[in-house]
Amino acid sequence: MAQQWFIGLMSGTSLDGIDGALCRLDDNGQWGGVHGHVHHDFDPALREALFALQRSGPNECHRAALAANALALAYARVCQALCAEAGVSANQVRAIGAHGQTIRHQPAPPGQPPGSGYTLQLNQPALLAECTGIDVIADFRSRDVAAGGQGAPLVPPFHQALFSNADEPRAVVNIGGISNLTVLDPERPLLGFDSGPGNALLDHWCQRHTGHAYDDAGRWSASGQVQTALLSTCLADPYFAAPPPKSTGRDLFNPEWLAAQLHGQAHLAPADVQATLAELTARCIADAVNQHAPASRRLLVCGGGALNDDLMTRLATLLPHCQVQSTTLHGLPPLQVEAAAFAWLAFMHVHRRPANAVSVTGAAGPRILGACSPA
């Protein structure tokens, strides 16, 4: 069976940079593994521009267009580094799956027609195709949103393809800027949804009070004490009680949201707030597992949160019936999973196969995701 090379690119809500994965699949979609992984940090100016575009501002269209161009050029450098590292030429790569940078995500509310919602990923796939000489598949969410779905999360079908086990109910959680949960139960349809904040609030608070971009291994949050009143205030947000399908992002869980929760609590020590935010991330994941995946005996963790020892410890404490494990133990390191998923999604587009899961997004039916910019 012929093998094909695909590249997957991911720059998520953490806004820490770009992960690229060079992957192989055969014509039937049989996974052939990751054969190269590259991470490039964002240039500080691009990172700041992307942060600024998370909310409206002056000259927004112009700034977004220039940021999209800069992002595509950064994507191209990741692709070139991947090919050089693996000794693979551009003409051997069938396609690039490039998610883009989500700057708005507002799918239609329940009961509203599909045209009342939208999702916007900043990208310039034509420029990326021009720079790499490789077909680029992008804009994966829009087709699902047009069909009345949430357009997110997109990765549960990939989690199912790689991590499901016919003999064991499992759950997978990706902890990026937002946490999204996948339920892999052989007795039930595939389920997946955004459980709530992941690293986004933790990174913001850490940057503000320590000057560091993130809380390395969760050492700072581990030094603080959870403030139960603040935690209860945060958990009272209606998002957590809403049933799936549901998805969220920085449109909701952002610095303004956190400031509102902290109103009247300026006396709290910054380390205690960090501890409370870590507990919030762990609690919303654990609550989602307990409610929607109670039979799961294993929770596989990917994304940057898998490298946060404090978060992993909190999850293990909250889920004593589950083995909380990094996806590394199941064949794919945590920082490679999402990029690999977009290589898989590019494969699905090229082979004209639906890649959304109706049970996850709530779309009207299976859809082929993405749009192609030919080389």
pLDDT at 110 over 80: no
DSSP state of 42: P
What pLDDT sits at residue 12? 81
Residue 29's CB is within 10 A of a number of other CB atoms, namely 14
- Which ranges of 269-308 would DSSP assign to H, the alpha helix? 270-292
Res. 16 pLDDT band, cuts 50 70 90: confident
Res. 109 pLDDT band, cuts 50 70 90: confident
What pLDDT sits at residue 115? 86
> What is the pTM assigned to this prediction?
0.94
If you average pLDDT over residues 104-119, what whole number do you get? 85
CA separation for the pair 151, 121 (Å, rounded) = 11
Where is average pLDDT lowest: 15-29, 121-135, 304-318? 15-29
CA separation for the pair 97, 169 (Å, rounded) = 29
Task: Tell me if 3-152+336-373 shares its fold with 156-330.
Answer: yes
CB 138 within 8 A of CB 99: yes
Name every residue whose Cβ is closer than 8 Å to that of residue 310 and which is 6 or more positions away in sequence.
Answer: 215, 217, 218, 219, 221, 222, 278
CA separation for the pair 228, 226 (Å, rounded) = 6
Res. 114 pLDDT band, cuts 50 70 90: confident
pLDDT at 108 over 90: no
- Which ranges of 133-199 would DSSP assign to H, the alpha helix? 141-146, 156-163
pLDDT at 304 over 90: yes
pLDDT at 90 over 80: yes
**Token pair listed for 217:** 């291994």
CA separation for the pair 242, 193 (Å, rounded) = 11
pLDDT at 137 over 70: yes
CA separation for the pair 182, 161 (Å, rounded) = 12
CATH code for residues 3-152+336-373: 3.30.420.40
**Each residue's pLDDT tens digit, 54-64:** 888 899 999 99
Tell me the CATH number of domain 156-330, given options 3.30.420.40, 3.30.2130.10, 2.40.30.10, 3.30.365.10: 3.30.420.40
Query: Tokens 């087709």 identify what position?
Result: 143
Query: Tokens 């963790």 identify what position?
Result: 301
What pLDDT sits at residue 2? 78
**Token pair listed for 350:** 């090229």
**Token pair listed for 80:** 């070139």
What pLDDT sits at residue 336? 97
CA angle 54, 372, 72 (to 5 degrees): 45
Q: Residue 18 pairs with which residues in a beta bridge? A: 40
**Each residue's pLDDT tens digit, 206-224:** 999 999 999 999 999 999 9
Which residue from 298, 85, 75 is spatially nearest to 171, judged by alpha carbons? 298
Q: What mean pLDDT value characterizes the chain?
A: 95
What pLDDT sits at residue 239? 97
CB 361 within 8 A of CB 151: yes
What pLDDT sits at residue 1? 65
**Token pair listed for 9:** 């690119």
Res. 87 pLDDT band, cuts 50 70 90: very high
Q: What's the start-to-end Cα distance of the chain, in Å?
A: 25
DSSP state of 217: G
Which residue from 3, 29, 8 is spatially nearest to 351, judged by alpha carbons? 29
CA separation for the pair 9, 152 (Å, rounded) = 17
φ, ψ dihedrals at 111, nearest 5°:
85, -5
Res. 15 pLDDT band, cuts 50 70 90: confident
Query: Domain-by-domain residue ranges, the chain?
Result: 3-152+336-373, 156-330
**Each residue's pLDDT tens digit, 331-358:** 999 999 999 999 999 999 999 999 999 9
What pLDDT sits at residue 46? 95
